[in-house]
Structure 1
């Protein structure tokens, strides 16, 4: 699909249909390209999903001069390389921390009162999430279900589950609960 539909004026529903078609046509190829760089299929899928989310959000300001496939391939490769670089930097920083500091991160003691306050804030924030997002978060965190199991149970796609979790965590982080 070499036509740049982003510059055309069309109804939102038609844009969404064309977007879905782009995703269907190019998803496997883009996942393959990302997997070659990240060496991890799940991370590669996340990279491709992030690209499509970015593309959809910015479709009106993006001008594609070649084919969509070449644009998307280059963008996914860049995102994957950035991910790998950030992951290496994170590992280097973590490796440099003294053992005592890394242990303290996970063994910080809090009072029972602080724990009660934090947990009540957490559950209040979770209750404030939209119903579907809350269900998915609870199934994942407390039910320990995998993305595919949640998707099958709720009759949605695995990417929908990932998106809802990402948005739920963002909301909780904004409320300083996570």
Structure 2
């Protein structure tokens, strides 16, 4: 692949990769480093990129794998300030703000405890809003396996969240339903 084709076929996905990596890592600077690493590897392998059927899915997979490497190296990923700010803006009273912030943190921790495959599928479908076919290309899974993993991930997060916050009131159940 020549430089011109590289610019046409690979570089246009950079913003999507950055969004994906930023959400995955909760650190924009670290995400930029990951995307840069991915592009460097892609450039080094540019001669064999013509064999890749779907460059976007291929780059998403490379980004996901690099993010997982970074996460494994650091072991902890804090919730980013932007997500926290957006969640707080949606609530009206102080009590709701505190409850939403705590619940979002709990859900984030529950998602982080999911197996890698379930966490990745949940990230790609619920956060990145990718279609099942796009997820299948990015993960080499069948659509049915994606649906099963996503369903199990959502159920596990919902059940664990309800266990943690089982005060039996209706507001808690409604709140859980809106978050999940």
Which of the pair has more CA radius of gyration?
A: 1
Question: What is the TM-score normalised by the length of structure 2?
Answer: 0.38
Considering fraction of residues, name the structure with more helix.
2
Question: What is the TM-score normalised by the length of structure 1?
Answer: 0.38
